[in-house]
Amino acid sequence: MPHCVIEYSRPLELTVSPEDLMESVYLGAVSSELFEEAAIKVRAIPYDHYRVTAGIESGMRFIHVTARILSGRNREQKRLLSSGLLKCLERFSLENVSLTVEVVDMDREVYAKTVVL
């Protein structure tokens, strides 16, 4: 745990690769010291169609990271995770881009998981 989902505007791939985005988010989650490294899952979803700010003509792009974590962490831990992930995205020094991070609790009592090999 966590599940880190990176949503981004596809034109960003001209500047930063999806692999680099995923590695940065992975390292941000590791640096939080809230999770075992082997438990961190990261995936990236590009969007071809999106609207950011007042209109498409603005050329604004976006990266939004959702970190879905099992419930039980306190507000300060979640704040440190979100700010740490945001700092990892800021290191790319991108321009004309909206960077956002959201931490979402998953109900520990109803979360289910199995690994099929």
Q: What is the pLDDT of residues 13-35, one digit of tens each?
A: 999 999 999 999 999 999 999 99
Is the model's pLDDT at 70 over the cut of 90? Answer: yes
Is the model's pLDDT at 95 over the cut of 70? Answer: yes
Number of alpha carbons in the 13 Å side-chain half-sphere of residue 57: 1
Per-residue confidence (pLDDT) for residue 114, from 0 to 100: 92
Q: Which domain holds residue 73?
A: 3-106
Per-residue confidence (pLDDT) for residue 57, from 0 to 100: 57
- Domain annotation covers residue 53: yes
Is the model's pLDDT at 85 over the cut of 70? Answer: yes
Per-residue confidence (pLDDT) for residue 59, from 0 to 100: 80
Q: CB within 8 A of 52, min separation 6: which ones?
A: 9, 58, 60, 61, 62, 98
Which pLDDT band, with edges at 50, 70 and 90, does 103 fall under?
A: very high
Per-residue confidence (pLDDT) for residue 55, from 0 to 100: 55
CATH number at residue 52: 3.30.429.10
The CA-based angle 33-102-110, given to 5 degrees, is 80
The domain total for the chain is: 1
CB neighbours (10 Å) of residue 95?
Answer: 8
- Domain annotation covers residue 113: no
Q: What are 32-60's pLDDT values in tens digits?
A: 999 999 999 999 999 999 888 765 556 88
- Domain annotation covers residue 111: no
Considering the chain, what is the average pLDDT of its residues? 93
- Domain annotation covers residue 41: yes
- Domain annotation covers residue 59: yes
| CA neighbor of 69 nearest in space, from 28, 46, 40 | 40
Q: In this structure, are strands 41-47 and 3-9 parallel, antiparallel, or unpaired?
A: parallel
